[in-house]
Amino acid sequence: MLDVKHLRKVYSGHGRTVEAIGDLTFHVAAGEFVTVVGPSGCGKTTLLRCIAGLLPATAGEIRVDGRPVSGPPPGLAVVFQEYGRSLFPWLRVADNVALPLRRRKLSTVERRKRVHDALAAVGLHDSLEAFPWQLSGGMQQRVAIARAVAYEPRVLLMDEPFAAVDAQTRADLEDLVRDVWRQLRITMVFVTHDIDEAVYLGQRVVMLSRSPTHVLDELTVDLPDERDQLGTRSDPGFSKLRARVYSQIRAAKAPVDLGKTAS
């Protein structure tokens, strides 16, 4: 479904070249929930922007559904970290969700139903008429998720979507994302720096090295599909997985000398 082969990304400009991604290869099967975790500044966002076709790769290849990515692939939706800036402040919540559907050949009734269902799925059925800035941060990110859901993508990319919300909201949103995935069975790539979140959410965790990035290790999360914040997180299996990811990431960070941390 999603194939990343020998991806390399070098930023150059202002007399400086930065190798953000060295050589990345991994595969995501259709309907799989993969979380990508790595130390901060390891090029996670760069990877995601390359997959979304928002950034050209320097070398290597990305295929979505067998087709090489050269621009934003159809059937792919993105939820950005900066929820406050990815929603249109001049559009009401319902219109924000409806805007990407304008190009689809849908009747007004169908479109309205989709928007309504998506917002209901994230628990915002009574905020259709609100403007995004009238909502809390967590609710805004729910709107962004609803927009992605209404788009009915085959692949959903999420770029540290909960990095800027408080811990309780974050737990709720994690469960929401799990629910959405279990209902729709779409392919999910969820990027995060939070090890617990990566293990809690994913079926598989891809661990990245620091920049220039390559895949350190992949780990299958052999926890049951039915997860909940209290039970799963106190499960010994969860702790074991968490410890494995943690030690890998720490080992990856170790040789960094201070002041030379990659950005």
Write out the residues near other proteins by the rule CB under 8 A: 49, 52-54, 72, 74, 76-78, 80, 82, 85-86, 88-91, 99-100, 102-103, 131, 133-134, 147, 151
Write down the least CB distance from residue 219 to other proteins, Å: 28
What's the longest Cα–Cα distance across the chain?
Answer: 59
Q: Which is nearer to other proteins, 180 or 221 (CB)?
A: 180
Write down the least CB distance from residue 144 to other proteins, Å: 9
Nearest to 69 by CA among 85, 54, 83, 87: 54
Beta-sheet pairing, 16-28 with 213-220 = parallel
Write down the least CB distance from residue 101 to other proteins, Å: 9
Positive or negative torsion for Cα 136, 166, 99, 122: negative
Q: Which is nearer to other proteins, 150 or 216 (CB)?
A: 150
Write down the least CB distance from residue 114 to other proteins, Å: 14
Q: How far apart (Å, rounded) are the C-alpha atoms in residues 236 and 179?
A: 23
Coil/strand/helix, residue 40 = coil
Q: Which is nearer to other proteins, 18 or 99 (CB)?
A: 99
Q: How far apart (Å, rounded) are the C-alpha atoms in residues 99 and 184?
A: 21
Write down the least CB distance from residue 132 to other proteins, Å: 9
Q: Which is nearer to other proteins, 134 or 220 (CB)?
A: 134
H-helix segments, the chain:
44-51, 83-86, 93-98, 108-121, 137-150, 167-184, 195-201, 229-234, 236-253
Q: Which tokens in the block code for residue 39?
A: 């130390």
Write down the least CB distance from residue 49 to other proteins, Å: 8
Coil/strand/helix, residue 59 = strand
Q: How far apart (Å, rounded) are the C-alpha atoms in residues 189 and 140?
A: 20
Q: Which is nearer to other proteins, 85 or 260 (CB)?
A: 85
Q: Which is nearer to other proteins, 133 or 166 (CB)?
A: 133
